[in-house]
Amino acid sequence: MRKKIIIIGGVAGGASAAARLRRLDEQAEIILFERGPHVSFANCGLPYYTGGKISDRAKLELLTPEDFYDRFFVDVRVREEVLSVNRGGGTVTVKSYNTGKTYTENFDVLVLAPGAEPVQPNIEGIDLSRVFTLRTIPDAMKIREYIDNARPASAAVIGGGATGVEMAENLLNAGINVTIVETLDQLISPIDYEMACIVHRYLENRGVKLIFNSKVESIAEDGDSLRIALDKGSIRADMLIMAVGVKPESALAEAAALELNERGGIIVGPDMRTSDPHIYAVGAAIETNDFVTDRKLSAALAGPASKQGRIAAGSICGLDENYRGIQGSAIIKIFDMAAASTGINEKTAKKLLLDYDKSYTFSPNHAEYYPGAREMAIKLIYNKKDGKLLGAQAVGFEGVDKRCDVFATAIHGGMTVSDLGELELCYAPPFSSAKDPVNAAGFTAENALRGRVRNFHWHDVQNLPRDGSVQLVDVRDAQEYSGGSIDGFMNIPLDNIRDSIIELDKNKPVYICCRTGLRGYIASRILDQYGFEVYNLSGGCLLYSTVCPPPAAASSEPVPRRKLENARPQAMPR
């Protein structure tokens, strides 16, 4: 029997479902409704069109309705909006903006792929002509046209998620001064605060102004610019981009009495079937499970939406396929920097009361002796009992994407941090080091997991006693130390540590720091074998000074050392 399948929404999830349905069933009648003028467009590329990086709008259209018909024999109807779903009658009511008419269309199977819609806060002035949101190609065209015609000198971006940060970059590249206003204390919430601080310092150095812990209360025209009143003061800008997040666009599903969660996400099974056996749903409008923790969540990510569309198509055609959950793998470009994450972050691990640990490393993206090497920061979250990798974050420059992809694969495969150290990855000086940053991150986490090192972290530093009850040692060289040190830490360079053991009291714990944690680890291993209780600052002074920049992190009066005694004791037997 020939099936008639209607798909509502024609971007990642809907287009993916339509294409695979045809590949699996040449006889099915497939109709795809898209209320906008474009189908299967690259919405992740929209910020780059607004700033001129992508100059040809047509490049954002992956397939036109004509392409879909010619290649897949799918009836794509753009500028036609489904107004309601009659589950009992198996029909949808459609409004055509091309003809102005309303009509009904029957279906055997319905696929909902409406995506997510921008959150529009109830703020006075949000409907002003110089206030924009970004979801579709027409939205991007509107922003681009305003920039080209009005030549604004300044812009405010409300919201520091991926879209907000990408818009800030592209606006600045277009010659516009940018301020980002964020209600949280950080940008890019999938990464943790200390990793985001690396991005904050970089953006500030590029000229982007950042305002945290603040929300917009009203927007008003004020002469030639907008006055944006915040809960703490106000700012002025010539244009404003609202990028405060998205929510599931599930009004059709709600009106059709499909089962939703409390946030409006459409509840589906692993085969993407809703509470109605003849209706499937995919993409940002659904609730699915977290691959790592199995908690319920929604995510506006193109990759998962496309995979869900494939699985829905397979299920409709009788294949036994199930979606295993969202891992949340994502990356964002920030000028020539990148920030990537996969799996869960530490905020989630804490919220779920998981028994986890974390590690930090700073590694060059390729061999240090090859020109152009730049460090990337990596944070791992792992199960404290068995070392299973739960999440990873990487911030840096070239090579961040491939490292995070390796971590994503490792999480999908249930690998441990010990497994990361054993991975044999491609090496040549222009691309990596013999010990890849992935390997280095795995070794560092494994050392803590196996008890070869005890770590303390950037947030522990301020609580360390400075009353002499513990010993605080900076093992960087003297020149590094003189350039600024953490308050209370005395300098014993790593290469002098054995000659200086007599200065240290075995009855008092020793807290060690270095630049990134590597020399501190070496010093920790030395002192541990001489019978000291030692703790190493994971991520070192580099991470600490990024999160807690001077003057808070710097000591104007480095702690003096006592005169060295040239005595090198014998190592204790292990």
Instruction: Write the pLDDT tens digit of every residue in 122-181.
Output: 999 999 999 999 988 888 999 999 999 999 999 999 999 999 999 999 999 999 999 999
Question: Model confidence at 48, in pLDDT bands (50, 70, 90)?
Answer: confident
pLDDT of residue 570 exceeding 90:
no
Rounded-to-integer distance, Cα 375 and Cα 370, Å: 13
pLDDT at 58 over 90: no
**44, 426, 514, 541: the active-site residue:** 44
| pTM above threshold 0.85 | yes
Instruction: At 118, list the tokens.
Output: 């921008």
pLDDT at 551: 55
Q: Is the pLDDT of residue 61 over 80?
A: no
Is pLDDT at 555 greater than 80 in this prediction? no
Percent with pLDDT over 70 in the chain: 96
What's the pLDDT band for 277 if we cut at 50, 70, 90?
Answer: very high
Q: Is the pLDDT of residue 299 over 90?
A: no
Q: pLDDT of 445-488, one tens digit each?
A: 999 999 999 999 999 999 999 999 999 999 999 999 999 999 99
Any catalytic annotation for residue 548?
no
pLDDT digits (tens, 9 = 90+) for 188-229: 999 999 999 999 999 999 999 999 999 999 999 998 899 999
199-208, 329-338, 558-567: lowest mean pLDDT where?
Answer: 558-567
Q: How confident is the model at residue 364 (pLDDT cuts 50, 70, 90)?
A: very high
Mean pLDDT of 491-501: 96
* pLDDT computed for residue 571 by the predictor: 44
CA-wise closest residue to 450 among 458, 442, 439? 442
SS3 content of the chain, % helix, strand, coil (to 5): 30, 25, 45
- Dihedral sign of CA atoms 139, 142, 145, 151 in order: negative
Question: 43 pLDDT exceeds 80?
Answer: no
Average pLDDT of the residues in 363-371: 94
pLDDT of amino acid 574: 35
Q: What is the pLDDT of residue 259?
A: 96
**What distance in Å separates the CA atoms of residue 13 and residue 299, rounded to the nearest whole number?**
12
Mean pLDDT of 297-326: 93
Q: Specify burial of residue 371 (Cβ count, 10 A radius: 0-12, 13-18, 19+).
A: exposed
* pLDDT (0 to 100) of residue 407: 98
From start to end of 130-238, where are the E strands?
A: 131-132, 154-158, 177-181, 209-211, 216-222, 225-230, 234-237
Query: Smallest Cα–Cα separation from 76: which of 61, 90, 91, 86?
Result: 61
Where does the pLDDT of residue 51 fall: very low under 50, low under 70, confident under 90, or very high at 90 and above? confident
The residue assigned the tokens 């490393």 is: 361
Task: State the pLDDT at residue 460.
Answer: 97
Mean pLDDT for all residues in the chain: 92
For residue 221, what pLDDT is reported? 94
Phi, psi of 500, deg, nearest 5? -105, 5
Q: What is residue 331's predicted lDDT score, i.e. its pLDDT?
A: 95
Mean pLDDT of the 48-60 span: 82
Instruction: Tell me which of 105-109, 258-262, 513-517, 566-570 is least confident.
Output: 566-570
- How confident is the model over 371-406, as pLDDT tens digits? 999 999 999 999 999 999 999 999 999 999 999 999
CA separation for the pair 113, 38 (Å, rounded): 15
